[in-house]
Homo-oligomer: A and B are copies of this chain.
């Protein structure tokens, strides 16, 4: 039976979720679909385009409008939804981040971030710039968060040499303890930094070009 474009996409998502971005190669994908590598190029012109389609799948659902009428809540919700979408797939943040430069310009997600600004008094240009700044933050934070989480998964398997139900070790976290804690709270902190910055811009729009 014939391979359809959707099958290729589903196969790619499956490899991504199970084995990660590094294992998402055209040859491995072909093998998992029981087909020769060249066959994939009938459905997608190249790997870049395939990954773009995967990114669109990861990001789909982000465009349902927020039901709040507060601009700060709209920004916050959008940011949290984007983060959640990235975290929902293995290496999701890294993949979207890597494709971002060439594709996010035409993305719906970007437009929604912009709209959340223009709807509440920001000029088009300032809303664009604020949207990008926020996107950079969300992507950067989430790439970092996800890679740390994956490192910890590996560490959890490598560590625990004595007993799995040993009492909690105290004193081993002096290393990076300040960066521990609920990632969502850490995410929210940077988000609030942005939102407060935008609030200042809305309060006194003419300060935009001053160096702080």
- Chain A interfacial positions (CB closer than 8 Å to B): 72-73, 75-76, 100-102, 105, 124-126, 128-130, 132-133, 135-137, 139-141, 143-144, 147-148, 176, 178-179, 185-186, 188-201, 207-212
**Is the pair B193, A198 in contact by a Cβ cutoff of 8 Å?**
yes
- Which residue of chain B has the shortest Cβ distance to A130 in the bound complex? B193
Determine the chain B residues whose CB is within 8 A of the CB of A194 once the complex forms.
133, 193-194, 197
Instruction: Kindly report how many copies of this chain are found in the complex they form together.
Output: 2
Q: In the bound complex, what is the Cα–Cα distance between A192 and B199 (angstroms)? A: 12
Query: Are B189 and A129 in touch, CB under 8 angstroms?
Result: yes
Contacts of A139 in B (CB 8 A): 136, 140
- Cα separation A140 to B190 with both chains bound (whole Å): 15
Specify the main secondary structure of chain A where it touches its partner. helix
A102–B147 contact, CB under 8 A?
Answer: yes
Subset of 7 A-B contacts with CB under 8 Å: A73-B211, A130-B190, A192-B211, A194-B194, A195-B212, A196-B196, A196-B201
Task: Tell me whether A133 and B128 are in contact (CB under 8 A).
Answer: no
Q: Are B125 and A193 in contact (CB under 8 A)?
A: no
Given A132-B141, A141-B136, A144-B132: A126 and B211 within 8 A (CB)? no
Residues of chain B within 8 A of A100, CB atoms compared: 144
Q: How far is the CA of A46 from the CA of B190 in the complex (A)?
A: 35
What is the minimal beta-carbon distance from A72 to any residue of chain B, in angstroms? 4
CA gap between A208 and B208 in the complex, in Å: 23
Q: Across the two chains, which residue of chain B brings its CB closest to A125?
A: B178
B178 touches A192 (CB 8 A): no
Which residues of the other chain, B, contact A140 by a CB distance below 8 angstroms?
132, 135-137, 139-140
